[in-house]
Amino acid sequence: MRTRPTLSWTPTEDLPPATTDLTPVAEVLRAGKVVVLSGAGISTESGIPDYRGEGGSLSRHTPMTYQDFTGSVRARRRYWARSHLGWRTFGRALPNAGHRAVAAFERHGLLSGVITQNVDHLHQAAGSTDVVELHGSLRRVVCLSCGTFSGRRELAERLEGANPGFAPVPAALNPDGDADLTDEQVADFRVVPCTVCGGVLKPDVVFFGENVPPQRVEHCRALVREASSLLVLGSSLTVMSGLRFVRQAADAGKAVLIINQDPTRGDRHARTRVALPLGAALTALAEGLAVPLEGRADAPAP
């Protein structure tokens, strides 16, 4: 039985103090075989807000759950109207210095893989190739009836055609590409079906309340097993989908290091947490390790 999503976390014990010293992170990167686990915090500098940081989207909205999406025509209309509008901004987001640093570490053989909780495809846009999208990607759409996959750009064109002139002003954009709109603003939005069977279309992402595919979880567990250390970037680790890999690494005696400005649910398992902005911290690490950043800040996503 699935439960409602975990939307917040409050420490129930004293956590180790954070630091601004990047030396321990540089040491594990220099040794290589590092698996990166990234969260929404690495994409905030690309204009995509996070869920739980200061001003995070959970302070004003509750993400769509799998149960609501599959169980209600009204909920699907609301989701696709808001997501379609949000995609106009979300789909144009560009990788930032943090994404480019992670890609540079991979190119120089320091990483053994990247696990991302994000659905924005920005690691790949920055040049990373060995990326596991734990929660899927907004760039793909899947039919819940026949299983056919299609591209989000194709769907956006179909939704534009079905909703000419749809251009309400959203209150805000959320990390899942959802734009804050009122019920009145989405009331007349028309949802389009699968072109193959006429079934219900869903973004190829893991909604809150939905399970990550088991084979994907096992792939990530294998990456952690084979790694020497785990580096967490920009994740509060509130939900178990990411925290389980931190626990796995710590239980195996591997070094866990976290760069996140706020306390995380994984702090007590970590060797250290560095409280610095990710773009600046990862750029400094790259410079210290003589790893040049490549790629342009304005490079389009593939």
* Residue 141, SS3 per DSSP: strand
Q: What is the dihedral of CA 63, 265, 56, 205, to 10 degrees?
A: -30
Q: Please tell me the distance from the alpha carbon of residue 85 to that of residue 82, in angstroms, as a whole number.
A: 5
Q: What share of the chain is helix, strand, coil (3-state, %, to 5)?
A: 35, 15, 45
H/E segment holding residue 281: helix 278-288
- The β-bridge partners of 115 are 37, 132
Q: What's the sign of the alpha-carbon dihedral 138, 8, 56, 240?
A: negative
Q: Are 294 and 46 in contact (CB under 8 A)?
A: no
Q: Are 64 and 13 in contact (CB under 8 A)?
A: no
108 is annotated as an active-site residue = no
Cβ neighbours for 63, distance < 8 A, ≥ 6 positions apart: 5, 51, 174, 176, 178, 207, 208
The Cβ of residue 298 has, within 10 Å, a number of other Cβ atoms equal to: 7
Backbone angles phi, psi at 268, to 5 degrees: -70, -15
Cβ neighbours for 59, distance < 8 A, ≥ 6 positions apart: none
H/E segment holding residue 82: helix 73-90
Q: Distance of alpha carbon 274 from its chain centroid, rounded?
A: 20
The one catalytic residue among 99, 135, 219, 269: 135
Active centre residues (catalytic): 135
